[in-house]
Amino acid sequence: MAVALLGGLAWVAVVQGGARIGTPMGQALAGSAIAALATAAGALPALFVRRISARWEDVMLGFGAGVMAAASCFSLILPGVAAGAGILGSKPAGAAIVAAGLVLGALFLLLADKAVPHEHPGAGRHGPGWMQLRRVWLMVFAIALHNFPEGMAIGVGFAGGDASVGVPLTAAIAIQDIPEGLVVAVALRTVAYTPLKAAGAAALTGLAEPLGAIVGVALTSGFAPLYPAGLGFAAGAMIWVVSHEIIPETHRKGHEQAATLGIIGGFVVMMLLDTALG
């Protein structure tokens, strides 16, 4: 059902994007729907596989972290500085407004982590109030929470009407979402969820991305300086997730070298992809 819901969302987004091919909102909805479907696609193998080795899980998460880190640099920060320089007439001013957005994005995730009960796959409980919520759904909610700024990044990427920013960013987030969807679904299977429920719950976390995309476009389309600031905000949020959430998780089980190779591989792939698509 979750996959069907995401498929319907993608169809609506693509139709809307086709009907308004020149509008940032239509493009952002289409891009975020593709990213959401990537999460669902990643969850599908959990229908047949109950668990994956901890080493491969860390490598896959590391690869996704590398993709996100490269996307933050090449698809958010650098275009943001260029856009800010064009709007403000000064490269230092452009860099400053992106830097301010980056700090705000990281602070937003910091406050969200402190305010919302959450878990990471296999890492135990974090945050206040965890006894009121089921363990597994805390983890699912945490993943959905982190998908929201990824959707915002897609929205901001298309808000300026420049596909050379939005398309590589969408590709990066979709690539990162595939292993994330698999890891979440397999984690749900290990705590006695049926294959369909595990894959469906993991797929549903992708619904946060179209919501984030709508917010990203809405917040940065009306006032020009908000566009580079929004790119910085999205970069700060993504870098926070990579550094605070993903890398510590991949280094927790003794697979630091394999995970780091995954990070480097993801960074290189995204760097080449951004060059090809940008």
Residue of 36 and 198 predicted with greater confidence? 36
- pLDDT at residue 129, as a whole number: 44
pLDDT for residue 177 is more than 50: yes
What is the total count of domains within the chain?
1
Mean pLDDT of 82-98: 94
Which band of pLDDT confidence, cut at 50, 70 and 90, is reported for residue 69? Answer: very high
H helices within 44-162, ranges in order? 54-71, 78-88, 91-115, 135-159
Which band of pLDDT confidence, cut at 50, 70 and 90, is reported for residue 22? Answer: low
From CA 44, how far away is CA 47, in angstroms rounded?
6
Mean pLDDT of 113-118: 68
pLDDT for residue 6 is more than 70: no
- pLDDT at residue 155, as a whole number: 92
Mean pLDDT of 18-45: 85
Which band of pLDDT confidence, cut at 50, 70 and 90, is reported for residue 5? Answer: very low
Percentage of residues of the chain with pLDDT beyond 90: 40
- Structure confidence by residue, pLDDT tens digits, 159-171: 888 788 888 889 9
pLDDT for residue 257 is more than 70: yes
Please give the model's pTM, rounded to 2 decimal places.
Answer: 0.77
- pLDDT at residue 20, as a whole number: 52
Residue by residue, DSSP assigns 187-208 as HHHHTT--HHHHHHHHHHGGGH
- pLDDT at residue 23, as a whole number: 86
Mean pLDDT of 125-149: 61
Which band of pLDDT confidence, cut at 50, 70 and 90, is reported for residue 130? Answer: very low
Residue by residue, DSSP assigns 209-256 as HHHHHHHHHHHHSSSTTHHHHHHHHHHHHHHHIIIIIIHHHHTTTS-H
How high is the mean pLDDT of the chain?
A: 82
Residue of 119 and 184 predicted with greater confidence? 184
Mean pLDDT of 232-257: 90
- pLDDT at residue 13, as a whole number: 45
Structure tokens at 90: 């000064």
Domain housing 75: 2-277
